[in-house]
Chains A and B, each alone.
Chain A
Amino acid sequence: SQQGEEDPQALSIQEGENATMNCSYKTSINNLQWYRQNSGRGLVHLILIRSNEREKHSGRLRVTLDTSKKSSSLLITASRAADTASYFCATVSSNAGNNRKLIWGLGTSLAVNP
């Protein structure tokens, strides 16, 4: 089942610009994760933010979490052509127990043009 909904579905920007992707979810969460998928490859974990955190940074990535709005955003600053990929958010429900099943969104396709 899909819980996360990424917005926009597709994004095209120029190299050097910032890219912002949003994720909305439906139930209370334990944590929210962002993954990147290059064409034809597996997914790569980018960052995990817990329900009691509001913002997290990793290199050029900035993730925010607003649990009152059940939404998260991923900001990539100073984008590069190599950032071209699909980006997925995934949530772990606070009711998941020991299962910790990830619920995935449909992804945002980002194209960074040289």
Chain B
Amino acid sequence: EAGVAQSPRYKIIEKRQSVAFWCNPISGHATLYWYQQILGQGPKLLIQFQNNGVVDDSQLPKDRFSAERLKGVDSTLKIQPAKLEDSAVYLCASSLRGEKLFFGSGTQLSVL
């Protein structure tokens, strides 16, 4: 089966610019997650979708981050404007029953 697809793989931007990440989960997976992983740390959940509804966005910096899940399938995560501390790997994951997560390869963001 096809895995979780993410793009782009790498992104370099200057602070105050905007950036968007895209994720296509495994077909049929109702739950989609966006994580932020800073070097040397574990993943931090930014937002969790169940179909196209938000289940948990308690750690999403809503003044600059936004996310949507189009028709309950693909998802985009946007940062506007970016700050230096947003430099991290952004991971998308999906799950069929909310237990075992399947991750994409991630987008490595560098904010200069």
Contact = CB atoms under 8 A, between A and B. Distances in A.
Nearest to B45: A101
A31 B99 contact: yes
B43 A43 contact: yes
A102 B55 contact: no
Given A92-B99, A104-B42, A106-B41, A43 B56 contact: no
Contacts, number: 52
A33 B101 CA distance: 10
Contact of A42 (B41, B91, B99): B91
Given A40-B108, A43-B103, A105 B42 contact: yes
Contacts of A99: 48, 55-56
B100 interface: yes
B106 to A, nearest CB: 5
A106 B98 CA distance: 21
A81 to B, nearest CB: 21
A88 interface: yes
A36 B48 CA distance: 21
B4 A42 contact: yes
Interface in B1-19: 4
Interface in A4-50: 4, 31, 33, 35, 40-45, 48
19 contacts: A2-B42, A33-B99, A33-B100, A42-B4, A42-B104, A43-B43, A43-B103, A88-B42, A99-B55, A99-B56, A101-B48, A101-B56, A102-B45, A102-B101, A104-B42, A104-B44, A105-B42, A106-B41, A107-B41
Interface of A: 2, 4, 31, 33, 35, 40-45, 48, 88, 90, 92, 98-102, 104-107
Given A40-B106, A42-B4, 6 more contacts: A42-B104, A45-B101, A98-B98, A101-B48, A104-B43, A107-B41
